[in-house]
Amino acid sequence: MSDKTSSSKRNSKEYRKALILICFVMVLCALSVFLIVFRRNQDKNSYAAYIYSDGELQTTIDLSQITETQDITFYDETGGYNIIRVSYGKIEVIEANCPDKVCVHMGAIHSSAVPIVCLPHKLVIVLKENGIKAPDTITY
């Protein structure tokens, strides 16, 4: 009987060690996931919108400083217009009198991946990250 008792004590100690190791690994995994999600949310709305008309910078808007939704209207020299809606972390063209309305169909942008462009009115809206000196293109 003493062999069974020492064997069960040894198995019990190994079981506890394995359980502690598994718990430690699970805590590390949970902490890693939390940090990744926290970092993503922290950097999410740190963009500034640069609005160009006919190649010239018209205005810059820090999207992280917007507290309420604003609508801005830009007119070109031919009487064309674009109504731009600025919200916290995003910007979009909600109305335009151009024939194709590609700028309206783009929807809201919230990253620097793709700009909003209205060729008939020569309007370009580009997002750039605040405070980061990074290339303007995405590298794969």
pLDDT in tens, 69-126: 999 999 988 889 999 999 988 999 999 999 999 999 999 998 888 999 999 999 999 9
For CA atoms 44, 46, 51, 57, the dihedral sign is negative
* Residues paired with residue 27 on neighbouring β-strands, in sequence order: none
**What's the topology of domain 47-129?**
mini-chromosome maintenance (MCM) complex, domain 2 (2.60.320)
Q: What is the pLDDT of residue 112?
A: 83
Q: Are 76 and 122 in contact (CB under 8 A)?
A: yes
Q: Is 57 left (phi over 0), alpha (psi -120 to 50) or beta?
A: beta
Q: What is the pLDDT of residue 66?
A: 87
Q: How far apart are CA 104 and CA 112, in angstroms?
A: 17
Please give the residue that has the higher pLDDT: either 4 or 128. 128
pLDDT band, residue 9 (cuts 50/70/90): low
Q: Are 96 and 81 in contact (CB under 8 A)?
A: yes
Q: Which pTM does this prediction carry? A: 0.63
Q: What is the pLDDT of residue 51?
A: 94
